[in-house]
Structure 1
């Protein structure tokens, strides 16, 4: 018999009780003596059967035939209310509180559904430097924005200093990328931080990138290729 079936049997046999709020209770016993001098266990009080794990979930355990059996309380509560858990499915807490095992707070979910729920409800935060693909720390993002506001750096220089493209710098200082991180967000016209400016005419001198200039002038011609 599987561990969870052993624990469910304790409920069905009346040794444990699951209340409407999802808490699990058992009857504690003390050792007494019969008239003939033999020992017996005397029920004396009820106590919570769960204990809190570091993960935030509640665990239950019992000793049966000299073997200790462990299980997760929320899975036991769901099975008590609905029956066996289908293969490949898990039990999700709707409100994200892992020790809130009220039956109405529990639902069947696949591993994918659980991950979507955690991200969509903010229970898992992979923004900023927590994202495995992040190249910059939150501190570096704030440094970039402060350096841009104070002047003295082009985006290209900031990109070289922090090891990213100047396009990434542009999105960071405008708040289009990493919006939750600190540092002042810039205005819309950022050409002066990407391009050089002609002192005489005031015109921005663009850089050629992917067939166009960053000052907005399109260059659709094929580049000349040296032969030889």
Structure 2
């Protein structure tokens, strides 16, 4: 798999290039936002690792530019720890957010999770609630007949809930399913993704009727509240 690393820290880029290559990844690197966009168009990477604070276009601008023509999975790798920065990146179209400094095992787990795209596509059910239709066969979602764009991570979360309608899905179960390991701790990522899903799918995101939080436990998809 080809990974585009976009970061203006040459030491981090060198470390990632060596580590990812040792795990079988083909790495290309860009030192700034403009170069990242150009290199993505030229090399068509399978995954993008993107810093937010780069010269010549910041990370959010790069995400918005990439989302104009590609659905390539994007993992933000940033030293910015504020919730507002994470929400802005996810709103722009990022699929995941890793805070520096990070454990390489966690980053590799998230790369593996986002690289899983194969799966059965035939005979899957259609799950619906309100004006939302979730087609598990085509991995698509519509709202009142209009296509809803979900990031790959948002889709994984919704898909797991849709395959278990009415059931409580624990946070740890979702973390293991989405990121492929039970060693990833929930530091607010699930809450952010659920907030994004509610904005896209709930009639009133502030008072959700279908995508419910079970305090201290996890989440539940209710088809007919």
For Structure 1 versus Structure 2, the TM-score category normalised by the shorter chain is under 0.3
Q: Which has the higher contact order (CA 8 A, sep 6+)?
A: 2
User: Which structure shows the higher helix fraction?
Assistant: 2
Name which one, 1 or 2, has greater alpha-carbon Rg: 1
Question: What TM-score comes out, normalization by structure 2 length?
Answer: 0.25
